Amino acid sequence: MTAINLERLIENACALQQIPAPTFSEHERGKYIESRFKTAGLRDVSVDKIGNVYGRTPGSLQPAVVVSAHLDSVFPMVTQLEIHRNGSMLIGPGIGDNAVALAFLLEMAEAFVSQPKHGGSVWFVGNVREEGLGNLLGMQQVVDRFGDKVQAYIVLEGIGLGHIYHRGLQVQRYRVSVETRGGHAWIHSDRESAIHTLLEIGSEIMGLSRPEEVPTSINIGLIRGGTSINTIASAASMDLDLRSEKPQALVDLERGLQTICERHRASEVNIKQEQIGQRPGGAISPDHALVKLACEALEVGEVAECHLGIASTDANVPLSRGHPAVCVGLTAGGHAHTIDEYIDTETIPNGYRMLHHLISEALNLNPE
């Protein structure tokens, strides 16, 4: 196994974290990855029409393993990307999700360029549009390109060392919009307010029943609307994120949402609901060779436990199409999607050994 260059990995993670990359604006971060792929000696380095960055190890043109990490971050362009250390903790928005994973991607590219040639190439991909309303479009393009030609898709997430996600959590996203006449807060106080109606709808949505035996979530992530404090709002909208391990539970929530919206429609209240995103579900068995290999790799990385689970990640796409895939966490960390996001740099060598072993052995898997 190639020895880890820890300082270089951390330096790359910090450099990547400092490049703003909100979903749909990953270009500059992609340029950094493209440059480093070329420096590492990867072949056929290219950028596709939506911004995914590709490169492969020398040797066979046949893709054997695809290793990916998403380029985008949840933080808007205006976010102050301050980063600092507190002991072994590296703290800053986006450092764990997903700057450090991209740094791992670069280190693996360096390591496998110099490895003995195998029967197929390792393709490394920095993909776009994983977060928010990207709807996993970047990974859809990746899987469209490689399909079932590969033995394994390995998706990298910066936080969550010890967790192997072999099941993709299905997600449905909706926007509920309300329109009314609006008016002056005092003069037209008898008129309907789009914001008031939206709040009532939101309250009822959060009260929808969910199956106790199946993990299911409802989240109102964004609310927009209004003109001023003394204006009756003529327009307002909210974005909903619905998730469940059971597809029927999502169907039931969607029906409940439709019923609530219908109930609030009136002559002067126009309500529209539209689907604005979805993430497909899928899974491979915990007994699948790739899952077993991922747990074995954690042992090599001296990680005490292997936690198999379900999550919504780029792995959803290959899993939904019947291709073997896992998403793996690379460091211990926390506070994801907050400005206090952090990773523990002391766990980076564990993640490195785990990932190196996983990629190496995945090259030898027999397609199932």
Domain ranges in the chain are 6-168+281-362, 170-276
Predicted local distance difference test score (pLDDT) of residue 43: 95
Is pLDDT at 181 greater than 70 in this prediction?
A: yes
Residue 186: which pLDDT band, with cuts at 50, 70 and 90? very high
Separation of alpha carbons 24 and 199, rounded Å: 29
> At residue 365, what is the residue type?
L
Query: Which of the residue ranges 52-66, 218-232, 237-251 would you say has the lowest mean pLDDT?
Result: 52-66
Nearest to 81 by CA among 17, 16, 159, 27: 17
- Give the mean pLDDT of 156-183: 98
Instruction: State mean pLDDT over 313-335.
Output: 98
Q: What is the mean pLDDT of residues 127-132?
A: 97
What is the Cα–Cα distance from 180 to 303, expressed in whole angstroms?
57
Distance, CA of 266 to CA of 286 (rounded, Å): 50
pLDDT tens, 143-157? 999 998 999 999 999
Q: What is the mean pLDDT of residues 113-135?
A: 88
Q: State the Cα–Cα distance between residues 312 and 361, nearest whole angstrom.
A: 25
- As beta bridge partners, residue 172 has 242, 278
* Average pLDDT for the chain: 95
Which architecture characterizes domain 6-168+281-362 according to CATH?
3-Layer(aba) Sandwich (3.40)
CA-wise closest residue to 121 among 101, 149, 155: 149
Nearest to 237 by CA among 174, 172, 171: 174
* Residue 368 predicted with pLDDT over 60: no
The percent of residues above 90 in pLDDT, for the chain, comes to 93
The answer to whether the CB of 274 falls within 8 A of the CB of 178 is no
Give the pLDDT score at 308.
98
Give mean pLDDT, residues 126-142.
97
Is residue 86's pLDDT more than 70?
yes
pLDDT range class, residue 367, cuts 50, 70, 90: low
Contacts of residue 287, Cβ cutoff 8 Å, sequence gap at least 6: none
At a CB cut-off of 8 Å and minimum separation 6, what does 266 contact? 192
Lowest mean pLDDT, pick from 57-61, 77-81, 135-139, 358-362: 57-61
278 has pLDDT over 80: yes
pLDDT band at 277 (very low <50, low <70, confident <90, very high): very high
Strand runs labelled E in the chain: 43-47, 53-56, 63-70, 84-86, 89-91, 121-127, 152-159, 163-168, 170-179, 183-184, 216-225, 231-232, 235-244, 270-279, 282-283, 307-311, 325-331, 333-334, 342-344
Query: Are 166 and 159 contacting, i.e. CB atoms less than 8 angstroms apart?
Result: no
Number of continuous H segments (helices) and E segments (strands) in the chain: 9, 19
pLDDT of residue 120: 82
- Integer Cα distance of 120 and 65 in angstroms: 8
Instruction: Give domain 170-276's CATH architecture.
Output: 2-Layer Sandwich (3.30)
Phi and psi, residue 90, nearest 5° = -110, 120
> What pLDDT score was predicted for residue 60?
79
